[in-house]
């Protein structure tokens, strides 16, 4: 009986109009308390299950948002997911989580799937670096009817809504701090050339130039966090060969690899080498590592709010005043950075 019951059956059983039953079940419009009780009783006794997809199509909303991230193993991504889910629930939204493993092709497939599911919008940490690298057949995924809010990263050449940290400014301040401790040769280790990394390196370069210290591209190395190749070892070794006195790690998921490798080389922090890392977590506090702490919870919260504003814009032309929302990160000073 449960699969055959319709809203008309509920209305007839409750002795109200179909429109009234629809308002009660759908949670919209004004209904008398007596009618509401009758409809809810009918729903329970008939074991009625609303057709959520049909309701969604009628209202032009599925109350569902998707989160597409590069690597959900990353603690930053885990904290971001938590913040997004928490805020989405406040607005009555469900969340679908997708992982691209930093693969643009997987990102395209996830976006196509979200279009087919008619989600209300997507919060995206993109694996794509430049829109010109995207095939023409996929470009509409980023500029179609489905609202997208980018977090942490942007795509070069694409006009988009973005919520992120003040990467350039706080990176400048962090490197300025190292320079104040006497460091002039500061090695940089990052996972890849994403927009956030480029901004952090710009801040690094600016701080060096302000102090008359040469910017040396060979002090910057990229390393994929790959358990098989473990190329971070080679990247770290390349940096160490330049006789650096400090290492600036732009992605926290590389931090443990760096620490393990330095331990193998019997190097002490900060006596032999100073260490400053992006993204704060409990292990950094435990090991007294100086970090740049991003406002991850606020980024997730604001991404949801902006996404819902974009969705609402389709109905009443409400606008987000700024495409870019930049939130302030902080330096957490601990004991991993010493004087030269």
Predicted TM-score (pTM) of this structure? 0.80
If asked whether residues 96 and 38 sit together in one domain, one would say no
Q: What sections of the chain are H helices per DSSP?
A: 7-14, 18-26, 33-46, 52-59, 75-90, 104-116, 136-139, 167-180, 195-210, 232-240, 255-264, 282-286, 296-316
What is the spatial distance between Cα 179 and Cα 251, in angstroms, rounded to a whole number?
20
pLDDT at residue 317, as a whole number = 42
pLDDT of residue 5: 83
Q: Are residues 44 and 140 in the same domain?
A: no
Scan for tokens 């509920």, then name that residue. 10
Say if residue 18 is in the same domain as residue 94. no
In a domain, 57, yes or no: no
Say yes or no: 236 and 126 in one domain. no
Asked whether residue 58 is domain-assigned, the answer is: no
Q: Within this chain, do residues 183 and 212 fall inside the same structural domain, yes or no?
A: yes
Residues 172 and 154 placed together within one structural domain of the fold: no
CA-to-CA distance for 41 and 148, rounded, in angstroms?
A: 40
> Quick one: 69 and 126 in the same domain?
yes
CATH code of the domain covering residue 32 = 1.10.260.40
Q: How far apart are CA 278 and CA 152, in angstroms?
A: 13
On whether residue 183 sits in a domain, the answer given is yes
The number of helices, as runs of H, and strands, as runs of E, in the chain is 13, 12
Per the domain annotation, does 129 fall within a domain? Answer: yes
pLDDT tens, the chain, 340 aa long: 445 788 888 899 999 998 888 888 877 678 888 998 999 998 888 888 776 555 555 555 778 999 999 988 888 999 999 999 999 999 989 999 999 999 999 999 999 999 988 899 999 999 999 999 999 989 999 988 899 999 999 999 998 899 999 999 999 999 999 999 999 999 999 988 899 999 999 999 999 999 999 999 999 988 865 555 566 677 778 787 888 999 999 988 888 888 888 888 888 999 999 999 999 988 899 999 999 999 999 999 999 999 999 887 654 444 454 588 999 999 999 999 999 8
Nearest to 155 by CA among 108, 208, 115, 189: 108
Distance separating alpha carbons of residues 75 and 17, to the nearest angstrom: 52
**Alpha carbon distance 238, 112 (integer Å):** 41
Q: Is residue 1 part of a domain?
A: no
What confidence score (pLDDT) does residue 57 get? 52
**Do residues 105 and 249 share a domain?**
no
- Nearest of 266, 271, 222, 224 to residue 246 by alpha carbon: 271
Q: What is the pLDDT of residue 236?
A: 78
Q: What is the CATH number of the domain that holds 321?
A: 3.40.50.2300
Q: With 0-12 CB in 10 A as exposed, 13-18 as middle and 19+ as buried, what is 318?
A: exposed
Answer yes or no: do 254 and 306 share one domain: no
Q: Number of structural domains, the chain?
A: 3
pLDDT at 58: 54
The answer as to whether 331 is a domain residue is no
Same domain, 256 and 305: no
Domain range enclosing 38: 7-50
Judge whether 116 lies within some domain. Answer: yes
Report how far residue 84's alpha carbon sits from residue 163's, in angstroms, rounded to the nearest whole number.
12
**Cα(160)–Cα(183) distance, integer angstroms:** 38
**Looking at the structure, do residues 44 and 72 belong to the same domain, yes or no?**
no
Cis-peptide, bond into residue 270, ω within 30° of zero: yes
Domain co-membership, 219 together with 310? no
Query: What local confidence, expressed as pLDDT, does residue 205 receive?
Result: 98
11: left (phi over 0), alpha (psi -120 to 50) or beta: alpha
Instruction: Specify if 121 maps to a domain.
Output: yes
Whole-number pLDDT of residue 96? 96
CA-to-CA distance for 309 and 161, rounded, in angstroms?
11
Beta strands 290-293 and 330-332 are antiparallel
């Amino acid at each position: 009986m449960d699969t055959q019951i319709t809203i008309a059956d509920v209305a007839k059983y409750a002795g109200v109009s179909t429109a009234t039953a629809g308002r009660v079940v759908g949670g919209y419009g004004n209904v008398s308390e007596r009618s509401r009780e009758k409809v809810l009783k009918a729903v329970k006794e008939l074991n009625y299950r609303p057709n959520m997809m049909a309701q969604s199509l009628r209202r032009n909303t599925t109350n569902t948002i998707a989160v597409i991230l590069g690597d959900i193993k990353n603690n930053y991504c885990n904290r971001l997911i938590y913040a997004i889910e928490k805020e989405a629930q406040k607005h009555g939204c469900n969340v679908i989580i997708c992982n691209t493993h930093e693969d643009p092709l997987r990102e395209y497939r996830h976006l196509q799937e979200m279009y087919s599911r008619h989600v209300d919008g997507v919060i995206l940490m993109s694996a794509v670096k430049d829109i010109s690298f995207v095939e023409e057949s996929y470009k509409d995924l980023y500029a179609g009817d489905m609202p997208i809010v980018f977090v942490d990263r942007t795509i070069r050449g694409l006009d988009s809504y973005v919520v992120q940290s003040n990467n350039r400014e706080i990176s400048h301040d962090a490197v300025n701090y190292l320079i104040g401790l006497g460091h002039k040769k500061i090695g940089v280790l990052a996972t890849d050339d994403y927009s956030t990394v480029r901004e952090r390196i710009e801040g690094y370069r600016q701080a060096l130039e302000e102090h008359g210290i040469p910017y040396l591209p060979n002090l910057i190395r990229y390393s994929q966090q790959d358990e098989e190749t473990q190329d971070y070892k080679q990247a770290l070794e390349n940096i160490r060969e330049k006789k650096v006195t400090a290492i600036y790690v732009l992605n926290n998921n590389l931090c443990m690899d760096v620490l393990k490798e330095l331990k193998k080389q019997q190097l002490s922090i900060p006596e032999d080498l100073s260490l400053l890392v992006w993204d704060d977590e409990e292990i950094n506090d435990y090991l007294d590592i100086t970090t740049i702490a991003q406002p991850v919870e606020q980024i997730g919260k604001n991404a949801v709010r902006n996404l819902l504003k974009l969705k609402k814009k389709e109905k009443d032309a409400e606008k987000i005043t700024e495409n870019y929302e930049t939130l302030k990160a902080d330096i957490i000073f601990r004991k991993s950075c010493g004087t030269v």
